[in-house]
Chains A and B, each alone.
Chain A
C-alpha cells in the first residue's frame, strides 16, 4: 500500500501547515522553467507544419493542402522558410519563430511504432514502450534534477488539469491544480479532517499537495470569456488557454513549481478535418469538433508568454508534442488516420529558435513508412533529452532511467540559448 511518501509521524496540524508558503525563497533569476504540453489525439503534423515546398505535398494532401504563402487566399500557409510553413491559425507562433523563440521539429516520433492512441500516449508518458514500467518520464526526471530546484518549494512539478497525466505519476510526489469549484471550508473542520488524512499514508500526502497548489493559484481562474467557451466541442481549445495562463502564474511564483504539464486533447481528426466553410465561435478555420484547435494552441502559447515577467519567459522552455503524426494521404473521409512521423515545437525565451529541425524524408509514396506515414527521422526522445540536459541540467547518466532502452538516442545539442 505504501507509495513512497512517508507522512506517518506527522500530526494533522503539521500536515495542514505544510500548505503555508515557505519562507525559504528560491532564486527566481536563475531557476529554469519547463512546460510540457501534450496534444492528445495525434495532431496532423503536415497540417500544423505543412511542407509546402515538397513537390509531392499538394498531390498527397488533396483537399487538406492549403494555399502556399503569399497566394492571397484566406487559407494561405504562414511562411517559415522556403520548405515549411505554419497552419494559418498559428500566427502568434509564427511571430515567436521570427523572434527566434520557436523551433519546429519535423518528421519526428518517439520509438512507438504501432498506431494506438492510448498505447502511443502511454509510451511517451512513460518514456518507454515497455509496459512493465509504471511511472512517468517526468516523475523520474525529478529524481535527477539538481537540488536547487527543490529549495523552498512544496512541489517542483505540477500537473494542470483535473487528472494527473501518466508522465508525472510515480514515486516522486507532485502537485496538481484545476480551477476551484466550491467555497472554502471552515478551518476547524479542515483541521479535524487533516488528522484523519494524516493517518492514511496514501491519501494524506495527496490531499496535502492539493491544498498547497490551491493556495498558490492566486485565483488564476474563473475568467469570464463571454461566448468563447460555450460548447463542449470547443472546450478543449478554450481550457488550454486558461491552463496556459495558470502555468504562467505558477511558474512566476518564487516558491512555485518549475515544471508543469498541460494536456490538450481532441486532436484526433479522422473525418472532415478542414471544413473551410464552417466556423467556430472564434472564427477559426475548422469545422465540427475540430474547430478552434490551432487557434486555441496559438492563443494559449501567446497567453503564457504575456502572463509571465520577461525574465521568467527568458528562463522558460515549452515542449509541445503529440503521440504520433497521421497518414500523409487523406483517407476516404477527408481526414487522416493514425500515422507515425509528425511535428513538435520547442519554444520559449530560452530556446534558440527560428529554425526547423528536420532530416526531411520526402512525401513520395516510396518515401513513406509502410507506404502511408511520414517517415520519422528524428527521435522525439532526443529532443526531450536535449531540453533536460541543456536546460534543466539533468546529467546524461540519468537518461537510462528516464528513457529506458534509449542507448542509441543522443540528446540534441544547441536547443537552448547560451
Chain B
C-alpha cells in the first residue's frame, strides 16, 4: 500500500471497494487517468428509465390532455346542474393526478437507486465523481416540479456523455434540455417584440440567462452586467419545450398537432434584432443566435478560471492556489474546452497529491464510501422497523414507500414494514430509506437548494448536527454488517490504507467486537475526510 493509492481511491474516487486499493496501488495516477479513456457507455443499471422527451410527453398528456379534458367535462356538468357527475369527475381527476404524482416520486427514487448502485459498484469511481461534480455545476434540482421527474434523465442525457467531452457541448445540451428550460423558466420567455409577444403582450423572463452567466459560465465575478443578462435573455427567447405548461403557449393556434416533449425553438417567440453580450455583437437571427453566444461564453477566460477554481476546490482544497487554477484554466482554453484534458491536468498536478485529508466528504459520498468499503449495494440496506405510512385514501398501497424519502419529521404514520411483500417494494423502501438518511446529514441528492448547486467548502458541510447524523448512521451500518469483514485491521488497511491515523489503528485493533471495530472505523474522522 502507499499513500498515493489511498489518495486516489478516497480523494478522487468514492472510497475503496474490497480489493480496489490493491489495484490502484500499482500506479495510482494511471488508475485514475484510465477511467477517463474510451467512449462513454451508459451503465446497465439505467436500462429502462425514460428519456426526458418521454417524461415530458407523459406529463403533458396527464395535465394537458386528460386533465383539461376532465376539467372541461366537469365544468359542463356543473353548468347542467349534474352534481353526481361533477363529483364523479372530481374523483377521477384526483385519482389520475394523485396517481401520477406518486408515480413521479416512485420513479425518482428508483432512478436514484440505480444511480447509487452505479456509484457503489463501479470500477470507474473517478468518472462517477466527475458526473456528480458537473451535475452539481449545471444543476437541475428536483424540487421545482415538473423538474423532479426529469432530473435523472437530464443527468443521463446532458451530463454523463460530456464529462470527458467538451464543456461547450455540455453547456449547450443543458441550456436546450427541457429540464433546465423549465427549471429556470426560459420555456416561458417570450421576446416582447416577437410576433407572439406583440400580439399577446407577454414578455421576457431573464432567469436562465442570468444563471448561465453567473453560475454556468463566467461566474458572478466574471465582469458581465445586467445589460448582458437582458441581451442574452433576448438571444435565447423562443428556446422552449412543448407544451409550455400553464401558459399562453396553449393558446398558440395550430400548435396542438406537434410532437410534445423535447426541445423546440419557436421563431414566433424569438426577439428580433441584434444583441450584444459581453462586448460581442450577434447579428439578428434565430436559434443559432443564442447558440453562438453560448459557444463564445464557454471559451471566455473568465469561464475557464471559474470552472478551474470549482474543479480544484472540489477535488483538492477549499482555496486552490492561483498557480493551480491558471494551469487548469489554460489547459481548458488551449484544448477548446475539453474536460478530459482539464481533468488530466488536475491529476497531473503536484497539489492533487498534497494536503491529504483536507476535504470533508459530501454526506452522500460518505455514505456511499461506507457501503463500498463493505462491498454492499443499496439493495442490501435493511429497512428499519419504523416510519410507515397510511396512504389508503390517496393512491394504491403499493406506492407508499416512495414517500419515505422525505419523511424527515416522521409525518407519515408508523406502521409495520412487513406489509411490503413484493420484492420491488422492499427494494424501493430501502432506497428511500438510504435517501432519507443522507438527507438527514444535510444533503438531499438531486435536490440542491437552488441553481448554485451544493456549496463545496469545509464550512458548508461541518455543521454539528450533520456530523452527529453521520456518526449515528455509520454505527447502524456497522451493527448490521459487521459480519462482512474478515478482520478489523485488514478491513482498515483495504479501506483507508495509509490514510488511517495511528490512533484509529490502535482503537480498531483493541475494539471489543468486530461490530465495534467497524463502527469506530466508519464513524472516525479519518473516514469523514478525503
Contact = CB atoms under 8 A, between A and B. Distances in A.
B162 interface: no
B467 A179 contact: no
A64 interface: no
A41 B450 CA distance: 9
A332 B202 contact: yes
- Pick the 10 closest A-B CB pairs, nearest first: A210-B468, A162-B442, A332-B203, A210-B464, A229-B411, A209-B464, A222-B410, A164-B463, A181-B440, A182-B472
Interface in A175-222: 175-185, 188-189, 192-193, 195-197, 199-200, 202-204, 206-214, 221-222
B528 interface: yes
Contact of A169 (B459, B465, B471, B520): B459
Interface stretch (B27-35, B126-134, B182-190): B182-190
B445 to A, nearest CB: 13
Interface of A: 1, 40-41, 114-119, 131, 134, 159, 161-164, 169, 174-185, 188-189, 192-193, 195-197, 199-200, 202-204, 206-214, 221-233, 235, 238-239, 242, 265-266, 268, 270-272, 275, 288-289, 331-333, 337-338
A181 B472 contact: yes
A178 B469 contact: yes
Given A232-B406, A333-B247, A162 B207 contact: no
Contacts of A271: 185, 188, 205, 246-247
Interface stretch (B11-19, B141-149, B343-351): B141-149
Given A182-B476, A270-B207, A175 B464 contact: yes
B408 interface: yes
B466 interface: yes
A64 B474 CA distance: 49
B465 A210 contact: yes
A206 B475 contact: no
Contact of A176 (B406, B439, B466, B504): B466
B101 A231 contact: yes
A177 B469 CA distance: 10
Contacts of B528: 203
Contacts of A242: 409
A177 B408 CA distance: 13
B464 A119 contact: no
Given A115-B226, A176-B463, A331-B205, A188 B471 contact: no
A44 to B, nearest CB: 15
B507 A229 contact: no
B155 interface: no
A224 to B, nearest CB: 6
A385 B255 CA distance: 56
B214 interface: yes
A1 to B, nearest CB: 8
Contact of B476 (A41, A134, A183, A227): A183
B465 A333 contact: no
A114 B220 CA distance: 10
A169 B455 CA distance: 14
Given A114-B226, A224-B411, A182 B465 contact: no
A274 B340 CA distance: 46
B511 interface: yes
Interface in B488-530: 501, 503-504, 507, 511-512, 516, 519-520, 523-525, 528
B462 A332 contact: no
20 contacts: A40-B449, A118-B452, A159-B463, A161-B465, A162-B466, A179-B409, A184-B472, A193-B519, A200-B525, A210-B463, A210-B464, A210-B467, A227-B394, A230-B394, A230-B412, A271-B185, A332-B192, A332-B202, A332-B203, A333-B247
B417 to A, nearest CB: 15
B193 interface: no
A271 B394 CA distance: 28
A41 B333 CA distance: 35
Nearest to A160: B465
Contacts of A175: 464
A182 B520 contact: no
Contacts of B210: 115-116, 338
A179 B463 contact: no
A332 B142 contact: no
B436 interface: yes
Given A162-B440, A182-B473, A189-B516, A288 B464 contact: no
Contact of B465 (A116, A162, A231, A268): A162
Contacts of A163: 442, 460-461, 463, 466
A181 B411 contact: no
A203 B468 contact: no
A323 B476 CA distance: 39
Contacts of B504: 196
A195 B101 contact: no
B523 A193 contact: yes
A56 B221 CA distance: 37
Interface string B201-239: 011111100100011000011000010000000000000
B220 A193 contact: no
A335 B486 CA distance: 60
Contact of B409 (A118, A232, A239): A239
Contacts of A221: 409-410
B106 interface: no
B503 to A, nearest CB: 5
B205 A337 contact: yes
Given A163-B442, A189-B516, A176 B142 contact: no
Given A115-B226, A207-B464, A214-B468, A225 B185 contact: no
A135 B86 CA distance: 58
A202 B503 contact: no
Given A289-B143, A332-B205, A228 B411 contact: yes
Given A199-B503, A238-B409, A331-B205, A211 B468 contact: yes
B441 interface: yes
B261 to A, nearest CB: 20
Contacts of B463: 159, 162-164, 176, 206, 210
B338 interface: no
A246 B185 CA distance: 35
B198 interface: no
A272 B246 contact: yes
Interface in B161-192: 185, 188-190, 192
Given A207-B464, A210-B464, A268-B450, 11 more contacts: A162-B440, A162-B441, A178-B408, A182-B475, A188-B512, A192-B511, A193-B471, A202-B462, A230-B411, A231-B406, A332-B188
B403 interface: yes
B462 A206 contact: yes
Contact of B507 (A114, A196, A224): A196
A177 B465 contact: yes
Interface string B389-414: 00000100000000100101111111
Contacts of A212: 464
B186 to A, nearest CB: 10
A196 B461 CA distance: 19
Contact of A213 (B394, B411, B465): B465
B364 interface: no
Max count, chain A CB within 10 A of own CB: residue among B101, B221, B460, B466: B466
B408 A179 contact: yes
Nearest to A236: B143
Contacts of A162: 439-443, 463, 465-466, 469
Max count, chain B CB within 10 A of own CB: residue among A163, A195, A206, A233: A163
A233 B439 CA distance: 16
B207 A178 contact: no
A192 B437 contact: no
A232 B465 contact: no
Contact of B462 (A41, A116, A178, A203): A203
Max count, chain B CB within 10 A of own CB: residue among A40, A175, A229, A275: A229
Given A182-B469, A193-B523, A271-B246, A238 B411 contact: yes
A239 B520 contact: no
B475 A331 contact: no
